[in-house]
Structure 1
């Protein structure tokens, strides 16, 4: 924390400035230098997995199969009375499949992302029909009604909230008339989630630093992306302020303690992922020197997560960890290639280790791991839709 006063000083300097290229998320880093332009070949040991049309066709099978698969299902609800019970499709007319609500939401994100970037998908028509069926105005109103139930104020906080905003962001940035219609249908639920974030963040006195759903840094990162993309400056500022209050004083993150047995997120790296968004370049560089300085070392390494039983829904989380670590490392390398470009090789290694496990996996992993793989590959670089 020796550099903390300097960081605060830099934040004061940048406080009056709007978002700059340095504080944009990796989703907006298309113009940054590539790692290959900056690194010797000796440091590019692990070759990247590239999201081609062939791979997109394979990955599309997973969400397309599960969005209408109602059982098995983990509802995760609090019942205010016996009348609150119901079948999944009755409770969640839009997002009842894929085992649980958040997985259904990000399965729909996967379908939108793949169709948006690969319009020549073999099952493009089936995907379009599935999206139109799920994301109808009537179905989304049913979801809003569920969230407005007496006992649903904290439902899916904040993991499911984050994925809902990611789905909305993907639709709103797709220049397609049908996408605009779907985004408009989704908007009442989107705005409800934004409202829930704004109400919750001031009340959260301490961040949640775990490797699963409730990780605060993850929820803040996706929410920041949405706010930045749609230019909701009030929401973006609220997220930025809270992230800095939560994490600015952190140092010496014990990354050697990771992973825990059920992790699908890295507590240390997720914190890096939100702070690279909300800090100016110089302030972030000084912060990382205190928080996780080893990331700047060209020989930095982390062992991949190893899954011992792919039919165990908790143990298979570690494949998700490999993908989420990769997307953080890609985001950091793409935003600041001169300092962190070497991390792409490590990200490639993590994706390569788990990618072959996604297609044909048991339902325990198959209903969600595809999304994690797709998002990691999105952060790696532009998809090769022309192939």
Structure 2
């Protein structure tokens, strides 16, 4: 990634994390008095069309600020973070979780992104953001523990409900802040996915933005030791040398980027690029196939990260995940 791309992503995110409307709430009404605008319900994360997109829009901004501290937008990002991540505003976000009907609020996608955002704030030296965000992160981590205790089956659909993706981000946070959560995540991953063989990769669905197959593989790459993972992956995608299942190697078509659900498919191309780049070091002789697949998916999606608000309010986060992954 170069500085020009970083500035393009930063400018887009700065334009949407404080844009309140249009907005899609995840909000249970108990009465007329609960019909409140986003900025009142969520004083930190009221922008970007929905709560979770605002959270990972902030992850994008802070990651770019850390990587490109001299870009003109870096100072603006820091100033906006100072005025957004105040104790008062974050206390309101935390209090929202105690409202009736909020138990499933943003489960599990928004939870995972909040943890990932908190992890990023820790990388910003003396800034107060990490300490202020920590109570909210701890609250979501506690919810994740309770959720895992009762989740009998993983959710494999390639949308916000995907279990593997949520655990992938949450695990990185847990390694730093709650190491005892890591073995629980690994145990669940093993219980759910260790016996998966000859994945058919029934994707893409018409509105998916995550590869369910490759999200699972990335989680298992972390949950298993390297040799154990390589054996698991060889059984999971036994025909990779023949580029099968073919769907995992071909970028998807996006027919209408003004349609928010269909625009999800640009995210699928980006999430596959991220996954193939991440998995590549453990692919052995198949690494060139992973590299080629990643580059094809990136090329298909990067021109469309900005341009239409239905994609622009969130796609930069997934582009950044892909661009920062560890190709060899």
Q: Same fold by TM (over 0.5)?
A: yes
Q: Does residue 307 in structure 1 map to residue 254 in structure 2?
A: yes
Calculate the aligned-residue CA RMSD, in Å. 1.5
CA distance in 1, matches of 2:327, 2:9: 17
TM-score (norm 2): 0.95
- For residue 341 of structure 1, report the CA deviation from its aligned partner: 2.4
Match for residue 183 of structure 1 among 130, 151, 154: 130
CA distance in 1, matches of 2:226, 2:326: 21
Match for residue 165 of structure 2 among 218, 223, 227: 218
- Which one has the largest radius of gyration? 1
CA distance in 1, matches of 2:43, 2:169: 24
Name the counterpart of 2:112: 162
CA distance in 1, matches of 2:179, 2:17: 33
4+ residue stretches of structure 1 with deviation over 4 A? 298-301
Structure 2 unaligned regions, length at least 5: none
Contact conserved, 1:307 with 1:319, CA < 8 A, in 2? Answer: yes
CA distance in 1, matches of 2:145, 2:302: 36
Q: Per the alignment, in what secondary structure is the counterpart of residue 79 of structure 1?
A: coil
TM-score (norm 1): 0.81
Name the counterpart of 1:147: 97
Structure 1's 97 and 112: CA in aligned 2 closer, same or farther, altered over 3 A?
same
Give a deviation string over 1:14-48, Cα, whole Å, max 9, x none: xxxxxxxxxxxxxxxxxxxxxxxxxxxxxxxxxxx
Give a deviation string over 1:80-103, Cα, whole Å, max 9, x none: 232222110000000000000000
Contact conserved, 2:258 with 2:308, CA < 8 A, in 1? Answer: yes
Give a deviation string over 1:240-267, Cα, whole Å, max 9, x none: 1111111112112112x31111110011
- For residue 289 of structure 1, report the CA deviation from its aligned partner: 2.3
CA distance in 1, matches of 2:129, 2:24: 26
Determine which structure has greater relative contact order: mean sequence separation of CA pairs < 8 Å that are 6+ residues apart, divided by chain length.
1
- For residue 298 of structure 1, report the CA deviation from its aligned partner: 7.3
Contact conserved, 1:165 with 1:190, CA < 8 A, in 2? Answer: yes
Name the counterpart of 1:16: none
- For residue 173 of structure 1, report the CA deviation from its aligned partner: 2.9
Structure 1 unaligned regions, length at least 5: 1-50, 383-387
Q: Does residue 136 in structure 1 map to residue 86 in structure 2?
A: yes
Structure 1's 321 and 216: CA in aligned 2 closer, same or farther, altered over 3 A?
same
Match for residue 123 of structure 1 among 54, 73, 76: 73
Q: Per the alignment, in what secondary structure is the counterpart of residue 218 of structure 1?
A: helix
CA distance in 2, matches of 1:164, 1:224: 12
Q: Does residue 200 in structure 1 map to residue 147 in structure 2?
A: yes
